Amino acid sequence: MSTPAGQGLDPKLVAELYHNAAELETLYGLLVIKNGYLIAERYSSEGSIDQLAGRQSVTKSYTSSLVGIALDQGCLSSVDQKMMEFFPEFAGQIDDPRKEQITIRDMLQMRSGYRNEQLTEQYLNTLFYSGNWNWLPHIADFPLTADPGAKWQYSEITYHLLGAIVARACDTDLKSFAQEHLFPQIGAELGDWSSDADGYNFGNFEIYVTARDMAKFGLLYLNDGEYDGKQIISAGWVEDSLQRHSDRVNVSGWIPVLTSRNGYFRHIGYGYGWWASRAGKHSFNYAAGHGGNMIVLLDELDMVIVTTADPLYDAPAGAGWEWESAIIEVVGKFIKSLPTE
């Protein structure tokens, strides 16, 4: 631990961040890490140092990391392996030959060709509100709306299938794989991780970790896959993951919070389970989960910002986006205020 001034950061900027954050009714925790030191931390509402809650789509960034580790471990041979190689039981049910061409790379980049389920009530209800958590068969019955690799479309089923691929390729479950190859190596602990009807941990959401352990995961990526002097994930994988494989992606009309009202989060891009954006003169990557759960990486400033928030399972329509947007605004305003180095 240290202080803002001790790490060369104006304490007034940090004080303003926390003053603004005090108005956020659904924020659980807010952490700032600078030069590897925790320089500011506060919890509110249900948040605490030990609090575990579903971090929603921040999970996708963890799943991406586990794909990289599976490659390092030799469970997977290449990101160009085909998706259907890992699901032979559905081969006879595939009526769209394009599905045979979907690669792990396409899936990591959200370019599998599967639709954004959140844009269509039928598919959104099928995944989240029907009570049927038997997701794997949707590999066959969910249609493609684009050729694999051709178009960025944010897809929940795609990242769940990615997690299942890691589990099948490494002959384990995703949670056990993470507990063996990721969390202990960065001094973190994994809480719960919800599963589908077949026992596959959801690759797209529902990982339970503390705010401090989210910060450790952020530091792992900020330091090119190295933690405490040890290479946990290959530096090449981290670099590939944080690239803008899709630039200026279209999230308007779908995730209004990603296009900040005041322009703090702009020029939205996507890598391998990580978003990219700009605020003021600063470019950054971030993991993002519904409700305002975030891990923000400011490489040029050697800084990680973590927010934990109500996952908004039961939030009324419209209000949830407003609460999440308020968190995005406060973080974005702080990033924009930071000097360049």
Tokens of 164: 């299942």
pLDDT of residue 259: 53
Q: What is the pTM of this model?
A: 0.96
pLDDT of residue 319: 65
pLDDT tens for each residue of 216-265: 999 999 999 999 999 999 999 999 999 999 997 876 555 655 555 666 88
pLDDT of residue 257: 54
pLDDT of residue 314: 76
* 3-state secondary structure labels for all residues of the chain: CCCCHHHCCCHHHHHHHHHHHCCCCCEEEEEEEECCEEEEEEECCCCCCCCCEECCCHHHHHHHHHHHHHHHHCCCCCCCCEHHHHCHHHHHHCCCHHHHHCEHHHHHCCCCCECCHHHCHHHHHHHHHCCCCCCCCHHHHCCECCCCCCCCCCCHHHHHHHHHHHHHHCCCCHHHHHHHHCCHHHCCCCCCECECCCCCECCCCCEEECHHHHHHHHHHHHCCCEECCEECCCHHHHHHHCCCCECCCCCCCCCHHHCCCCCCCEEEEECCCCEEEEECCEEEEEEEECCCEEEEEEHHHCEEEEEEECCCCCCCCCHHHHHHHHHHHHHHHHHHHCCCC
pLDDT of residue 173: 98
pLDDT of residue 264: 83
* Residue segments in the chain with a per-residue pLDDT below the cut of 50: none
What span, in angstroms and rounded, lies between the C-alpha atoms of 122 and 308?
A: 30
pLDDT of residue 341: 74
pLDDT of residue 266: 85
pLDDT tens for each residue of 116-150: 998 888 998 899 888 889 999 999 999 999 999 99
Set out the domains of the chain in order of their start, with CATH numbers.
Answer: 1-51+210-341 (3.40.710.10), 59-186+193-206 (3.40.710.10)
